[in-house]
Chain A
Amino acid sequence: MAKVGFSDAVLKEVNTLFERYPKKVHALLPVLHIAQRENAGWLPEGWDAYVAELCETTLNHVRGVITFYNMYKTTPVGRHHIMVCTCLPCGLCGGTEVLEHLEHRLGIKSGNVTPDGQFSLEESQCLAACDQAPLMMVNEDLQKRITLEEIDRWIDEARAKKA
């Protein structure tokens, strides 16, 4: 198991965060985000207990929070984590077709990671840019009015970069 714990620089960042809240546990959501950022987008084994101790709360509490929110992952995500909105109105403006196309191109169903660890796919709810439907989010980058041709081009480029 890899080492669990923040570097001194990140600990400093977390401590600055704690100062913004009456209690350390209030900062649990942002601290979990930082833990994911430091671990390629997910929470490997042992990090829940580490964050619990840091935020002065229980392991049970942290596990409850991790399983409640969509954005916390307990299994690895791809280097490119793709979210596709299939909610209203994206779902009726091409969103479901975008998702199907990605599933076909990547050879994985929504909720999975490609065997090479490059891509993971997630069907998502509303991403709050409905006028630009359909929407696809890759890591933190929101891609608007995405077409199937653009997706093909993007996948080819991402694969070429890796090779």
Chain B
Amino acid sequence: MAEETLLLLKNIRTPGYTGDLAAYQKAGGSKAWEKVLKSMKPAEVIEVLKASGLRGRGGAGFPCGMKWSFMPPPSDKPHYLVCNADESEPGTFKDHLIMLNDPHEFLEGMMIGCYAMNSHHGYIYIRGESQHAIKRVQQAIDELYKAKLLGKNILGGGFDLHLTVHPGAGAYICGEETAMLDSLEGKRGQPRSKPPFPAQSGFDACPTTVNNVETLANVPFILNQGAEAFAALGPANNAGTQCVSISGHVAKPGVYEVEMGHNLKSLIYDYAGGIRGGKKLKAVIPGGASAGILRPDEIDIPYDFDNLMKAGTMRGSGAIMVFDEDTDVVRLAERTIRFFNHESCGQCTPCREGTFWLKNMVRQFMDDAGDEALAKRMERAAFQIGGTTICAFGDAVSGPMMAFVRKFPEEFAKHYAS
């Protein structure tokens, strides 16, 4: 196998690493937290993050330092940092790898984030199905309280901080940041209209920032090694490494850490071992179910935010799903739309109704009752969902569903009524 570029998964790849606080500290952990508390002002931390060029790893790729700088100066309202550990984008499992095997890394990043944004309470929102992750992260938090790295007057520096694990209850949409905040408030997880943005009015109508697990896991490295060391990795505007989840019909599915901009084809063939059973490749979905599908001749490209966007799809959460020559792309489309129809929160008509009708149209193809007009209608219906909804869910349905029809017309033709 090709070598990984290990920054986030360095501990996890060390044989015998247990992930408890003592092991984490033995590997150099907690140093950034101590340094920040003892020698840095919150604004200085944000400047370092901005200079590093770190972009959010949850899906949208928003610059992390800039997001943090949107938080208002301290006032009588509490500030909150919420860690998005919902990880429900189909094909994504890298946050679970981090949470289960090296939870202190992202927790340290989260604690530094809380300090930088004057937040004294952070919530980690983990999907309710993942009891194993909930227990593991809670155990790590208990260790931090015991070591007095969390709680009141931490290390005598006068800073108070509490972290709480909040379980979800099975709803994909709660990975959307404003739906997550509603869910954290004990409501149905339905996305909010923006503005106001969470930095003005988030959890409990107070200034709030939401960051993904992997994004926060980068923060200790950036504070320890400096923004330049981080920015030196990856192409311009796409700094750092990335934990890529590769699944589907590959020989060695799993999480691989590579520099941003690593070639997509190489990820599949050099890291994930190529297509299993010596079969040929039919299609790649490069960024979770919300990303448009690619044909085999389109995958010789650098894997990062900007290059995937240029290719008409997206990097999303870094989830690469690989499908071999035996795959029926119409069935792939059916699984995808079934998912989106099930998970639509139902607020916006184009999304609620559109996913329903798209599902029915794909099912007609599954019953071998399609025709060219139906394929066109499907593409048009998918197009009309895009840009018409409160949150990005509408676009997440629209892009991939159009891509299925446009990129694989011959697959749909196999299901025309004879």
Which A residues are closer than 8 A to B by beta carbons?
Answer: 20-23, 25-30, 32-33, 55, 57, 61, 64-65, 68-72, 83, 86-89, 91-93, 124-133, 137, 140, 142
The tally of residues in B whose CB lies under 8 Å from a CB in A reads 55
9 closest A-B pairs by beta carbon, nearest first, are A28-B186, A70-B170, A69-B169, A131-B253, A130-B247, A71-B170, A68-B188, A140-B131, A126-B90
Beyond A126-B88, A131-B246, A132-B253, 19 additional pairs, beta carbon < 8 A: A25-B186, A29-B128, A29-B186, A33-B169, A64-B187, A70-B170, A71-B170, A88-B285, A89-B247, A89-B323, A92-B323, A92-B335, A125-B172, A128-B96, A131-B247, A131-B253, A131-B255, A137-B129, A140-B132
- B162:A128 contact, CB within 8 angstroms: no
- B185:A25 contact, CB within 8 angstroms: yes
Set of chain B residues within 8 Å of A71, measured between Cβ atoms: 128-129, 169-170
Set of chain A residues within 8 Å of B131, measured between Cβ atoms: 140
The distance in angstroms between the C-alpha atoms of A126 and B339, with both chains bound, is: 9
- B185:A69 contact, CB within 8 angstroms: no
Set of chain B residues within 8 Å of A20, measured between Cβ atoms: 162, 164
- A131:B186 contact, CB within 8 angstroms: no
B91's contact among A68, A69, A72, A89, by CB below 8 Å, is which? Answer: A89
- B249:A93 contact, CB within 8 angstroms: yes
- B188:A130 contact, CB within 8 angstroms: no
B13 at the interface (CB under 8 A from A): no
Closest Cβ of chain B to A77, distance in Å, is 13
- A30:B167 contact, CB within 8 angstroms: yes
Set of chain A residues within 8 Å of B172, measured between Cβ atoms: 125-126
Closest chain A residue to B247 by CB distance? A130
Interface set, chain B 266-323, CB cutoff 8 A to A: 285, 289, 319, 321, 323
Closest chain B residue to A137 by CB distance? B129
B254's contact among A25, A29, A131, by CB below 8 Å, is which? Answer: A131
Q: Which of A20, A21, A65, A68 has the most CB of B within 10 A?
A: A68
The distance in angstroms between the C-alpha atoms of A52 and B185, with both chains bound, is: 14
The distance in angstroms between the C-alpha atoms of A46 and B183, with both chains bound, is: 23
Set of chain B residues within 8 Å of A125, measured between Cβ atoms: 88, 90, 172, 339, 342-343
Closest chain A residue to B346 by CB distance? A68
- B186:A55 contact, CB within 8 angstroms: yes
The distance in angstroms between the C-alpha atoms of A20 and B122, with both chains bound, is: 10
B168 at the interface (CB under 8 A from A): yes
A128's contact among B78, B130, B183, by CB below 8 Å, is which? Answer: B130
List 27 contacting pairs A-B, 8 Å CB cutoff, sorted by A. Answer: A21-B164, A22-B204, A23-B204, A30-B166, A32-B169, A64-B187, A68-B171, A68-B188, A69-B188, A70-B170, A83-B129, A88-B285, A92-B327, A92-B335, A93-B247, A125-B172, A126-B91, A126-B172, A126-B289, A128-B92, A128-B95, A130-B245, A130-B319, A131-B245, A131-B246, A137-B129, A140-B131
Closest Cβ of chain B to A23, distance in Å, is 7
Q: Which of B169, B183, B253 has the most CB of A within 10 A?
A: B169
The distance in angstroms between the C-alpha atoms of A66 and B69, with both chains bound, is: 37
- A142:B247 contact, CB within 8 angstroms: no
Closest chain B residue to A29 by CB distance? B169
The distance in angstroms between the C-alpha atoms of A104 and B92, with both chains bound, is: 30
- B321:A131 contact, CB within 8 angstroms: no
Interface set, chain B 239-264, CB cutoff 8 A to A: 245-249, 253-255
Closest chain B residue to A31 by CB distance? B186
Closest chain A residue to B78 by CB distance? A22
B331 at the interface (CB under 8 A from A): yes
- B91:A88 contact, CB within 8 angstroms: yes
B89 at the interface (CB under 8 A from A): yes
Q: Which of B78, B184, B188 has the most CB of A within 10 A?
A: B188
- A130:B93 contact, CB within 8 angstroms: yes
Q: Which of B88, B185, B245, B327 has the most CB of A within 10 A?
A: B185
- A128:B88 contact, CB within 8 angstroms: yes
B22 at the interface (CB under 8 A from A): no
B336 at the interface (CB under 8 A from A): yes
Closest chain B residue to A27 by CB distance? B186
Closest chain B residue to A28 by CB distance? B186
The distance in angstroms between the C-alpha atoms of A23 and B161, with both chains bound, is: 18
The distance in angstroms between the C-alpha atoms of A137 and B132, with both chains bound, is: 12
Set of chain B residues within 8 Å of A72, measured between Cβ atoms: 169
B87 at the interface (CB under 8 A from A): yes
Set of chain A residues within 8 Å of B57, measured between Cβ atoms: none
Closest Cβ of chain A to B382, distance in Å, is 17
A87's contact among B87, B129, B132, B339, by CB below 8 Å, is which? Answer: B339
Closest Cβ of chain A to B190, distance in Å, is 8
B189 at the interface (CB under 8 A from A): yes
- A128:B171 contact, CB within 8 angstroms: no
